[in-house]
């Protein structure tokens, strides 16, 4: 998630943020399964997904 995307998240309603958060959690779960199966080539994507989750949670907690 880039800074521009982060700024866009600030303007979204709470329900949409929660939906995006659920999508990121599902993506993280899938990436972890794929990692153990040896399918993931870009391990950095897991770190980026965790950061995106943290950013969304920060926005939700500030509201």
The rounded distance, in Å, linking the Cα atoms of 11 and 47 is 24
Q: Tokens standing for 50?
A: 């965790």
Average pLDDT per run of 10 along the chain, which is 63 residues long?
Answer: 77 92 96 90 92 93 88
What are the C-alpha distances in Å from 12 to residues 2, 32, 44, 46, 57? 16, 28, 26, 24, 13
**pTM for the predicted model, two decimal places:** 0.86
Domain containing 18 equals 3-62
Question: What pLDDT is recorded for position 7?
Answer: 82
What are the C-alpha distances in Å from 40 to residues 4, 21, 24, 26? 26, 21, 16, 15
Question: What pLDDT is recorded for position 52?
Answer: 92
Mean pLDDT, the chain, as a whole number? 90
How many domains, the chain?
1
Which CATH number fits the domain that encloses residue 53?
1.10.287
Question: What pLDDT is recorded for position 41?
Answer: 85
Angle in degrees, 0-180, between the axes of helices 44-62 and 14-37, rounded to the nearest 10: 160
Question: What pLDDT is recorded for position 1?
Answer: 61
């Amino acid at each position: 998630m880039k800074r521009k995307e982060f700024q866009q998240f600030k303007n979204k309603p709470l329900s949409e943020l929660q939906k995006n958060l659920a999508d990121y959690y599902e993506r993280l779960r899938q990436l972890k399964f794929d990692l153990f199966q040896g399918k993931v080539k870009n391990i950095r994507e897991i770190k980026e997904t965790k950061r995106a989750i943290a950013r969304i949670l920060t926005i939700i907690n500030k509201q």
